[in-house]
Amino acid sequence: MLITKIRSRECRELLARLGFGRLACVSNNRPYIVPIYFSYDAECLYCFSTLGRKIEWMRENPLVCVEVDEISAHDDWLSVIALGHYLEFSNSPNDAKGQEYARSLIEKRALWWQSGYTAVQVRRNRKPAVPVFYCIQIEKMTGLRASPNTRENARTPRDALIRN
């Protein structure tokens, strides 16, 4: 298996094509990671949620990480990691345009609102769900590609170590 870095253009293409990844946030040194959908546009991942743990944690600490991958086989995959900043579009008039723009991108996906309401059904407090539009502003991004190495015949980890 050959591992190579991919260019930022390819990273962006993957984000735009998949629109799905894992969002990690941290509170009091404890990480929390959830699968989410997003819409990628101009170095931002636009997302919809309802108020819950991840939103509370990101409000407290806006530094987050998103991982996206496309796996065709164990030796044929793409993976992108983006470090970014949480930015919420509140209901204030100042954020109206941002929220409208986020919504216009997100609602291109059928039933876009459904996943954001997933947790509502299992949350203990039966308060009405509070919708939240936000984006992750990407600050740094890296991408890797694995591709089959046809000349490789290492069958065990030991073989691979010896060959390298």
| Contacts with ligand FAD, residue ranges (CB under 6 A) | 34-37, 47-49, 52-54, 115-116, 118-119, 123
Other Cβ atoms less than 10 A from the Cβ of 153: the count is 8
Residue 50 Cβ vs ligand FAD, minimum distance, rounded to whole Å: 6
Query: Helix, strand, coil shares of the chain as percentages rounded to 5?
Result: 30, 45, 25
Q: How far is the CB of 164 from ligand FAD (least distance, A)?
A: 36
Cβ proximity to ligand FAD: between 8 and 118 the closer is 118
Q: Is 131 helix (H, G, I), strand (E, B) or coil?
A: strand
CB of 159 to ligand FAD, least distance (A): 37
Which residue is closest to ligand FAD by CB?
Answer: 52
Compute the Cα dihedral for 47, 50, 55, 59 and give only its sign: positive
Comparison of 49 and 79: residue with beta carbon closer to ligand FAD: 49
Given the complex with ligand FAD, which of 12 and 54 has the nearer CB atom?
A: 54
Give CA separation, 156 vs 91, 148, 149, 152, 161, in Å: 56, 16, 15, 11, 9
